[in-house]
Amino acid sequence: MRIGVSVINDVRVDPRVHKTCTTLARAGHQVTCFARPTTDFPWPAPPPYHIQWLRPGAAGGKKMYAAFNYQLFQQLRRADFDLLWANDLDTLLPMWLHARRRGIPLIYDTHEYFTGMAELAGRPLTRWMWKRLERALFPRLQHIITVNESVARLYEREYGKPIAIIRNLPLRSDRRSRDVGQWAPPFRLIYQGALAVGRGLEMLLQTMTRLPQDVVLDVVGDGPLRLHLEDFVRREGLEKRVFFHGLVPFHALADHTAKAHLGLSIESPDFTNSALSLPNKLLDYLNQGLPVVVSDLPEHRRLVLRYGVGKILKAYSPEALAEAVLSVKEDRAFYQTAAQRALAAADSDLTWETQEPALLQIVADAAGL
Residue 61 pLDDT more than 90? no
Give the predicted TM-score (pTM) of the model: 0.93
CA dihedral defined by 193, 197, 201, 205, rounded to 10 degrees? 140
Residue 307 pLDDT more than 80? yes
CA distance 295 to 349: 22
How many C-beta atoms surround the C-beta of residue 229 within 10 A? 18
Q: Collapsing DSSP states into helix, strand and coil, what is residue 140? A: helix
Residue 265 bridge partners (DSSP): 294
Answer for the pair 40, 68: CB distance below 8 angstroms, yes or no: no
Q: What share of the chain has pLDDT > 70, as a percent?
A: 99
pLDDT score at 120: 86
CA distance 357 to 351: 12
Give all domains of the chain, ordered by start, each with its CATH number. 2-169+352-367 (3.40.50.2000), 172-349 (3.40.50.2000)
Q: Collapsing DSSP states into helix, strand and coil, what is residue 68? A: helix
pLDDT score at 175: 87
Q: Give 314-335 pLDDT, tens digit per residue.
A: 999 999 999 999 999 999 999 9
Confidence of residue 251 (pLDDT cuts 50, 70, 90): confident
Q: Give 166-210 pLDDT, tens digit per residue.
A: 999 999 888 888 888 888 899 999 999 999 999 999 999 999 999
Answer for the pair 106, 95: CB distance below 8 angstroms, yes or no: yes
Q: 275 — phi, psi (to 5°)?
A: -65, -25
Confidence of residue 285 (pLDDT cuts 50, 70, 90): very high
What is the distance, to the nearest Å, from the Cα of residue 208 to the centroid of all Cα atoms in its chain? 25
Q: 76 — phi, psi (to 5°)?
A: -65, -35
* Strand ranges inside the chain, DSSP E: 2-6, 30-35, 50-53, 83-87, 106-110, 143-146, 164-165, 187-192, 215-220, 242-246, 262-265, 292-294, 310-312
Residue type, 69: N
Q: ∠ CA(88), CA(90), CA(93), 5° rounding?
A: 100
